[in-house]
Amino acid sequence: MEDGSSEDEDGSSVDRSESADHPTTGSTDQSASELTDRAEDQSVPENQRGSRDEEQINIAQEIFSQQEDPIFANKSLLEISHIPSFDRIVGRDEEIRKLSEELRGAVQGYSPENVIIYGKTGTGKSLVSKYVSSQAVNNAHEDVEIGFQYLDCSTDNTETQAASTLARSFNDSLQTGFEIPERGLSTAAYYKRLWRTLESLYDVVIIILDEADMMADDDLLMKLSRAGESGNTDCRIGVIAISNKIEWADDLNERVKSSLQPKELSFHPYDAEQLEEILQHRRDAFKPNVLEEGVIPLCAAYAASDFGDARKAIDILRHAGNIAYERNADHVTEQHVKDARTKAEKDRFRELIEGIPQQAKASLLALAILSLNSEQEEFPTQLVYRQYQNICDNIGQDVRSERRFRDILKELAFLGIVDNRKENLGRSGGITLLNRLVEEPEIVYEIIRDDTRFESLTDHLSNS
């Protein structure tokens, strides 16, 4: 069913040909050929038209004329930026309740509490903060004007950028009568406009500082928490600062802490059951009956084993759908999920491995080759070193000393790419270090072989 696909390297295969399982509808065929005719009529004269041009026209047309998507009904439900409605937010009632309580004052025109939210990646911190803040705006008392803005501190990570973005996003020039330029003002000038905007438009604002630990310093938090006290504005400001580093709150400057007086909320990872429910609530992203039974539980199980990350669960499901589409399949199967996961892992790992030095890559490759050729998973450093020497000789790369090689293995362990543990060899004496790849050896091997410097490596080196 799935052969005949021509999946290219980045997975962007476009082959949904007639011979495939999905019969292309008559109308689609017709419109495709009509388009081809029109394109031929109007473009370059026939005698100048190369076959390459035609090929390009056909590829584009094949994609654009695909009106029927047999897999997805509403793919946007699986986009990370999508904010699900309340009835689709799963397993976060307690967090929603607590955050709403901290912000309750805002609805009545009083100061909301400042809140620091921390928790691992994909635990719903951004989602719940946006949801509760927008609910505060919707439920404001009649005479209370509430504003809410979301700032991604990984993008606006300096005080000036943050003050500029906040001032501009809160401002409504029709009401205030002034515009705020994106660039060119001093930090102090942006703050001045921010205070003026807040003063003239709002009684209360809620500001979400997402990825707050990415800010270069604590100055923004300091200014926001002291705005009232310093007489800058009468508008009440509540800050929700989000971080996935638990230690971030502890490291905050004492002065900031004392003026912020934050309440702390921590979000725990989801378990497989919750992840499954999150995905079940989005199954209408797919056409009816397209998802095979085991698909959602498998996505949830994978994401649960990867630290209960809901983003990962959704990503895997979306990728599985894409793979099914690319392979002309009628259904999304468990195999598609497995392949989607491998692809996601590979992408993440590729990024990590691509950044390490060549010597470290050779060391990692040595461990991958040993793992591929053995039932074992763990290997003593000496054995890995011999394999590493073979690789270096084979591709004409300098060989580092065994001592330096041990350091490289430790660095790889620090990056979470390799696991190493000490083992006592018993009466024969000595302690040896056993090394194991954290990721599948096939994946590591493939990624490193993609590096041109390892292209010349003889295959089956480990048998030599």
Query: Is residue 92 a contact residue for ligand ATP (CB under 6 A)?
Result: yes
Which residues is 431 bridged to in the sheet? 424
Pick the binder of ligand ATP from 96, 127, 162, 444 (CB under 6 A). 127
Q: Which tokens go with 164?
A: 């500029």
DSSP codes joined into one string, 180-194: --SSSS-HHHHHHHH
Say if CB 381 and CB 421 are below 8 A apart. no
Residue 244 neighbours by CB distance under 10 Å: 16
| Helices (runs of H) and strands (runs of E) counted in the chain | 18, 8
Query: Is residue 84 a contact residue for ligand ATP (CB under 6 A)?
Result: yes
Contact range with Mg ion by CB under 5 A, out of 120-128, 227-235, 276-284, 309-317 = 120-128
Contact range with ligand ATP by CB under 6 A, out of 84-92, 144-152, 406-414, 425-433 = 84-92
Question: Choosing among Mg ion, ligand ATP, none, which partner's interface includes residue 206 (Cβ < 5 to 8 Å by kind)?
Answer: none
Contact range with ligand ATP by CB under 6 A, out of 220-228, 253-261, 310-318, 426-434 = 310-318
Least Å from the CB of residue 209 to ligand ATP: 12
Query: Is residue 400 a contact residue for ligand ATP (CB under 6 A)?
Result: no
Query: Is residue 268 a contact residue for ligand ATP (CB under 6 A)?
Result: no
Going by the DSSP 8-state scheme, the letter that residue 34 receives in this structure is H
Contact range with ligand ATP by CB under 6 A, out of 34-42, 90-98, 179-187, 252-260 = 90-98
Query: Is residue 311 a contact residue for ligand ATP (CB under 6 A)?
Result: yes
Binding residues: 123-127, 270, 282
**Look-up: residue for tokens 């495939």?**
20
Contact range with ligand ATP by CB under 6 A, out of 41-49, 88-96, 257-265, 316-324 = 88-96
Whole-number Cα distances in Å, 31 to 57, 107, 169: 14, 55, 44
Backbone dihedral angles phi then psi of residue 286, each to the nearest 5 degrees: -105, 160
Least Å from the CB of residue 91 to ligand ATP: 5
Q: Which is nearer to ligand ATP, 113 or 315 (CB)?
A: 315
Query: Is residue 91 a contact residue for ligand ATP (CB under 6 A)?
Result: yes
CA distance 66 to 245: 45
Going by the DSSP 8-state scheme, the letter that residue 238 receives in this structure is E
Binding residues for ATP: 123-127, 270, 282
Q: Which is nearer to Mg ion, 131 or 445 (CB)?
A: 131
Q: Which is nearer to Mg ion, 24 or 126 (CB)?
A: 126
Please name the residues in contact with 10: beta carbons below 8 A apart, sequence gap of 6 or more: none
Q: Which tokens go with 129?
A: 């903060």
Query: Is residue 124 a contact residue for ligand ATP (CB under 6 A)?
Result: yes
Q: Which is nearer to ligand ATP, 168 or 341 (CB)?
A: 341
Pick the binder of ligand ATP from 89, 163, 323, 366 (CB under 6 A). 89
Contact range with ligand ATP by CB under 6 A, out of 124-132, 149-157, 201-209, 291-299 = 124-132
x/- contact string, 192-211, with ligand ATP (CB under 6 A)? --------------------
Say if CB 13 and CB 325 are below 8 A apart. no
Report how many residues bind Mg ion under the rule CB under 5 A.
1
Say if CB 16 and CB 2 are below 8 A apart. no
Query: Is residue 238 a contact residue for ligand ATP (CB under 6 A)?
Result: no
CA distance 98 to 107: 15
Whole-number Cα distances in Å, 161 to 25, 80, 95, 151, 390: 52, 24, 30, 10, 52
Q: Which is nearer to Mg ion, 227 or 249 (CB)?
A: 249
Least Å from the CB of residue 11 to ligand ATP: 21
Question: Choosing among ligand ATP, Mg ion, none, which partner's interface includes residue 299 (Cβ < 5 to 8 Å by kind)?
Answer: none
Residue 204: in which H helix or E strand, if any?
strand 204-210
Pick the binder of ligand ATP from 13, 66, 121, 389 (CB under 6 A). 121
3-state SS of 362-391?
A: HHHHHHHHHHHCCCCCEEEHHHHHHHHHHH
Query: Is residue 126 a contact residue for Mg ion (CB under 5 A)?
Result: yes
Query: Is residue 312 a contact residue for ligand ATP (CB under 6 A)?
Result: no
CA distance 17 to 198: 57
Say if CB 426 and CB 419 are below 8 A apart. no
Pick the binder of ligand ATP from 122, 147, 238, 308 (CB under 6 A). 122
**Look-up: residue for tokens 């010597």?**
359
**Look-up: residue for tokens 């926001």?**
224
* β-bridge pairing 431-437 and 204-210: unpaired
Query: Is residue 280 a contact residue for ligand ATP (CB under 6 A)?
Result: no
Say if CB 296 and CB 276 are below 8 A apart. yes
Query: Is residue 125 a contact residue for ligand ATP (CB under 6 A)?
Result: yes
In the complex, the residues that contact Mg ion under the rule CB under 5 A are 126
In the complex, the residues that contact ligand ATP under the rule CB under 6 A are 80, 84, 88-92, 119, 121-127, 244, 278, 310-311, 314
